[in-house]
A and B are shown apart, each in its own frame.
Chain A
Amino acid sequence: KAGVTQTPRYLIKTRGQQVTLSCSPISGHRSVSWYQQTPGQGLQFLFEYFSETQRNKGNFPGRFSGRQFSNSRSEMNVSTLELGDSALYLCASSLESRVSGGYTFGSGTRLTVV
């Protein structure tokens, strides 16, 4: 069974640009969460979608947004990129939004803002 697929794996963008990252969850998984990982801040929760609805949101500015499609695939968008947005962006999927901790993560998209 295919795992969580994130595309692209690597991305280089210029300050002020916008970027869209994609996440395809495991088949049948309806919950998709997004995380930002940086050396300084660690793993931080961005938002979670369940059945196309945003269920929870972390403490990130409005430049960070996301959506989920009817097939559970999810995208996150970052507008007006800043140097500090350089990070590994990870998505995780699970069958339900309240699950016994067993989220499956993708390998992430490494975004570099120059």
Chain B
Amino acid sequence: GQSLEQPSEVTAVEGAIVQINCTYQTSGFYGLSWYQQHDGGAPTFLSYNALDGLEETGRFSSFLSRSDSYGYLLLQELQMKDSASYFCAVTYNQGGKLIFGQGTELSVKP
């Protein structure tokens, strides 16, 4: 089946770096995306990896290794506003379909 595994919770301190991992048991997908969601609001697109390697967007970076069925989101210079839920998701070639992980709740402490 299609499943993505993420840690349920991660805690880090302001200014630090945190990595949120996503391992998956699926194939045939276009790429791996990351979304941020604050308190049940609208998920916001953060990053996308179609190819293996690192993608950097400001303080956020995302990595994908298809051979290891693994990806991660790296958040640098953590700020209090980064406290939110983070979801990895795969995009399938059927189009318009995202399969999400269960999400990781990030708590940033002062």
Contact = CB atoms under 8 A, between A and B. Distances in A.
Contact of A94 (B40, B42, B43, B96): B96
A50 B99 contact: no
B96 A56 contact: yes
A98 interface: yes
Chain A contact residues, majority secondary structure: strand
A100 B47 CA distance: 9
A101 B44 contact: no
Interface string A13-39: 000000000000000000101010100
A54 to B, nearest CB: 10
Contacts of B93: 98
B43 A100 contact: no
Interface in B77-101: 87, 89, 91-101
Interface string B40-76: 1111110110100000000000000000000000000
A47 to B, nearest CB: 9
12 contacts: A33-B97, A42-B87, A43-B43, A43-B100, A48-B97, A94-B96, A97-B96, A100-B31, A101-B31, A101-B91, A102-B45, A102-B48
